[in-house]
Structure 1
Amino acid sequence: MGILLFLINMGMMSDLKGIEGSGMPTLHLANQISPWLGFILSIILLGMIYNTAVGMLYAFTARLVPAETKRFKLSVIIVGILAFLASFVGFIKLVGTVYPITGYLGFVIIAALIISWVRSKMKKEAVNPELAKF
């Protein structure tokens, strides 16, 4: 796996000007190698995107509505339509918006975990100073 990532990165570094502004740099590189390779990779990428979308939409809807109900099936359809409409924003714009938001949310979660850990340490120390050492 590591070797594959290394080769992909080396391929992208070899053509930085060519992939600049490309939404999918690996697809750009595959098309440069061979149009057939680009076609095959585009089918693979489409399958990966579809697989991720279906799994995420199912998990998202299952958190909101109990699964295996009529309401769930209707909710999946509605969420699927909303996701489909959101896809027209454009892949680059969507990723450029969603990735930073999830990154900032990650920082918030890390901060909350640190605060929670410090509070629990302080609470242990206040209740029993001997337990706080562990």
Structure 2
Amino acid sequence: MFSKKKEEIDEKYLKKGATQIKDGDIDIAVDNQKEIDDKINNSGALRKYTELGKVMFGMLTDYRKGVYNHVPWFSIAAIAFALLYVLNPLDIVPDFLPGIGYIDDFALLTITIRFIETDLHKYLDWKLEEE
């Protein structure tokens, strides 16, 4: 049952979700950074994404401010979609299920990072040049 649920979180799911993201969704993700950070930091399965989550929030924030625009819209939309998905407690596998509630969040973050890895590296290089 749960492997089927995990299979629902795939590249097609990310692409479909990212295409539905609007500018206002980026605002929602950034405005809920503390809640999303807390969820990532306090769940064992997602904790490995703590630092990458900070980078993703930094990219969203800098994009929203207009100071960093060297990134495809799909990468921004994928980040916003993934972070809003993590924020949602009633996603494909509800987060309140002990031991398995974060499997889908973990899968989606993993897929998202795989898709935007190059853009994350470019953003980090840009940040280093800005300092």
Q: Greater Rg, structure 1 or structure 2? A: 1
| Structure with the larger RCO, 1 or 2 (CA within 8 Å, 6+ apart) | 2
Question: Which structure has more helix as a fraction of its residues?
Answer: 1
TM-score by length of 2: 0.25
- TM-score, structure 1 as length reference: 0.25
